[in-house]
Amino acid sequence: MDELKRFALEIRIETLNMLSRHGFGHVGGSLSIADALAVLYGKQMRYDPKNPKWEGRDYLVLSKGHCGPALYSALAIKGFFPREELLTINKLGTRLPSHTDKNLTPGIDMTTGSLGQGVSCALGMALGLKVQGKPNLVYAIIGDGEAQEGQVWETMLIAPNKGLDNFIVLLDNNRQQLDGFTNDISSLGDVCKKAEAFGWFVVDVDGHDVAAIDQAIEECKRSDKPGFINLNTIKGKGWPAKEAVLGNHALRGAAFEGVDEALADLRRQLEEMQ
């Protein structure tokens, strides 16, 4: 588990580094999914960075596509492409645009960015794999703001009806969206009960506890239902000044003030763990 914690720290460091150097990016939601990505790419998912299209791989669809930087960091750390490439984010001709893109990036299997769409595509992948009798799993990460999209609930309805036990949705429930706090805008209510009522196997966890996330995925894998993991997270996690505060969705220019101290702090934590 210490290795996963280190991996999560590295994801946060790379993400903050690339976005602050570029001067723009979705910091808050990228930081909130770092621990889930660490568990997925550090332990749970099967993949081959040298052969991203390997048939035996598990799939991740980042339906909240604007948090691509965190996923790119995880992919680079695991060797899908050179770490230096992270600094090309949103530079003309880059393979790393803000939002994850199947057409461009090794290790990305679905283009996302328009909220609600990715999770339907992920379900199609799970269905396609299941009817072929393949053992691959499909994971999708959605945001709590994203869950206001009606299309998300179309997917919530289909997956149990199709018996997709190879499909695990992780809700990055950081309780914030662009305009403010989700509960002030349009609350999801008791999302675990809702998912359960739709027929999912539901686990409610601390989304920054790698052991708990890992355990939740294990339980979902054992279940004969599609899995729904409610990750209770903090938007901006890892940069204390930006945690759970308004305006942390995307930062630009001067809003990155203090990032050097935040990065130094994260690097110190990483060193202490090594």
Site for another protein, rule CB under 8 A: 102-103, 109-111, 113-114, 116-129, 131-132, 134, 150-151, 154-155, 157-158, 161-162
Q: Which is nearer to another protein, 16 or 170 (CB)?
A: 170
Q: Which is nearer to another protein, 5 or 64 (CB)?
A: 64
| Distance between first and last Cα of the chain | 13
Nearest approach, Cβ of residue 142 and another protein (Å): 13
Nearest approach, Cβ of residue 102 and another protein (Å): 5
Q: Which is nearer to another protein, 48 or 265 (CB)?
A: 48
Q: Which is nearer to another protein, 25 or 65 (CB)?
A: 65
Cα separation of 15 and 33, whole Å?
Answer: 11
Could you give the angle at which helices 150-161 and 117-131 cross, rounded to 10 degrees? 20
Nearest to 112 by CA among 149, 160, 67: 67
Nearest approach, Cβ of residue 173 and another protein (Å): 22
Q: Which is nearer to another protein, 162 or 221 (CB)?
A: 162
Measured CA to CA in angstroms, residue 263 lies from 23, 31, 69, 270 at distances of 15, 12, 16, 10
As a dihedral over the C-alpha atoms of residue 50, residue 66, residue 234, residue 155, rounded to 10 degrees, the angle is -90
Nearest approach, Cβ of residue 204 and another protein (Å): 25
Q: Which is nearer to another protein, 49 or 124 (CB)?
A: 124
Q: Which is nearer to another protein, 86 or 137 (CB)?
A: 137
Nearest approach, Cβ of residue 26 and another protein (Å): 18
Nearest approach, Cβ of residue 117 and another protein (Å): 5
Nearest approach, Cβ of residue 97 and another protein (Å): 12
DSSP states of 259-272: HHHHHHHHHHHHHH
